[in-house]
């Protein structure tokens, strides 16, 4: 059973995003990139399925420019068997990414497609759902538990109101939430071994998809304005007094 995991390189969350002048977007030049933390959890779950003998191959896939090879190489060091980079310099909407991933799914024919529930840069939370829709596959989103049985999976989803458990017949798409597992670190021998693992670069054009440009454009990026009082109070009595008389919220 093959498992496919999508990997997105994102700005290291410990770094502050730097804006280009005149609201022209985020400056990612020379920024340190890591695997999107949710994708790392997705990869970890796929690796555990392989280690328990339930999956036979873990393939990671990314869409982007050649820089993404570094992130994919890290995914290989974590334990993926091989990597695919769909190389493009184009700006891709979530819908375009979903269409590209669909093409890769039809080529690789995995029984399970794993994605992080959202990327921590664009915070969109939609590629997995879109991909499941385009494939007409069942979807298990925001999952915190996965149990693979013959030909089907049981997943527990994290909802605003609590938890929900679904049974999905394979093939299926799942998007993972934080509490599914704790990802491993790449060991030094595995980092060395990863250099020998196959990483295939496929140009987007060669996939022969008719991908229209997105019907939207990002016209501005800016920093939110916040003005906080930053008053230090010295006692509980003073705090309550301020909240009543000054802020008028009690």
Partner 1 sequence: MKVLVIAEYERQRLKPSFFSALTAAKQLSPGNEIDLFVAGFECNDLLQVIKKINVKKIILVDDKKCEHQLAEVVADLISKVAIHYDFVIMSATTFGKNILPRAAALCDCTLIADVVQIIDPATFVRPIYAGNVLETIQTSEKIKFLTIRASAFEPTLIESDIEAEVECIKEDLISSRQDIVFISSELTEQTRPSLESARIVVSGGRALKSKENFKLIEDLADKLHAAVGATRAAVDAGFISNDFQVGQTGKIVAPQLYIAIGISGAIQHLAGMKESKVIVVINQDPDAPIFKIADYGLVGDLFQIIPALINELEKCNKTLT
* CB 195, min distance to partner 1, A: 32
**DSSP state for residue 93 in the 8-state scheme:** -
* Contact residue for partner 1 among 52, 53, 206, 236 (CB under 8 A): 236
* Contact residue for partner 1 among 36, 113, 142, 148 (CB under 8 A): 142
User: How many chain residues touch partner 1 (CB under 8 A)?
Assistant: 81
- Per-residue b or e along 98-132, where b marks 16 or more CB atoms closer than 10 Å to that residue's CB: bbbbbbbbeebebbbbbbbbbbbbeeebbbbbbbb
Between β-strands 57-64 and 2-6, what pairing exists: parallel, antiparallel or unpaired?
parallel
CB distance 175 to 153 below 8 Å: no
In angstroms, the Cα distances linking 100 to 25, 40, 134 are 24, 20, 11
39 binds partner 1 (CB under 8 A): no
Site for partner 1 in 148-207 (CB under 8 A): 154, 157-169, 172, 177-179
Nearer to partner 1, 188 or 236 (CB): 236
Site for partner 1 in 11-30 (CB under 8 A): 11, 13, 16-17, 19, 23, 26
* CB 39, min distance to partner 1, A: 13
Of 111, 117, 128, 101, which Cα lies nearest the Cα of 176? 117
Tokens 């555990």 label which residue? Answer: 48
> How many Å is the Cα radius of gyration of the chain?
21
Site for partner 1 in 212-231 (CB under 8 A): 214-224, 226, 228-231
Nearer to partner 1, 203 or 221 (CB): 221
120 binds partner 1 (CB under 8 A): yes
Nearer to partner 1, 133 or 198 (CB): 133
């Amino acid at each position: 059973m093959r498992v496919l995991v999508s990997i997105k390189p994102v700005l290291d969350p410990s770094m502050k995003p730097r804006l280009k002048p005149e609201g022209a977007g985020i400056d990612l030049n020379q920024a340190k990139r890591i695997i999107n933390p949710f994708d790392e959890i997705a990869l970890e779950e796929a690796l555990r399925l392989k280690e328990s003998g339930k999956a036979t191959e873990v393939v990671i896939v990314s869409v982007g420019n050649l820089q993404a090879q570094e992130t994919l190489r890290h995914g290989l060091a974590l334990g993926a068997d091989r990597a695919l980079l769909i190389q493009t310099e184009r700006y891709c909407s979530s819908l375009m990414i979903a269409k590209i991933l669909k093409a890769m799914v039809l080529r690789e024919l995995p029984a399970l497609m794993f994605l992080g529930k959202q990327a921590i840069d664009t915070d969109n939370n939609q590629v997995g759902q879109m991909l499941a829709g385009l494939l007409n596959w069942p979807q298990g989103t925001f999952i915190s538990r996965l149990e693979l049985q013959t030909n089907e999976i049981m997943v527990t989803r994290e909802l605003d109101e609590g938890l929900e458990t679904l049974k999905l017949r394979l093939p299926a798409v799942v998007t993972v939430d934080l509490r599914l597992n704790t990802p491993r670190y790449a060991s030094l021998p595995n980092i060395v071994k990863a250099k020998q693992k196959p990483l295939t670069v496929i140009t987007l054009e060669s996939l022969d998809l008719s991908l229209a440009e997105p019907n939207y454009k990002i016209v501005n990026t800016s920093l939110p304005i916040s003005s906080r009082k930053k008053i230090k109070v010295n006692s509980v009595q003073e705090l309550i007094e301020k909240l009543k008389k000054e802020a008028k919220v009690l």
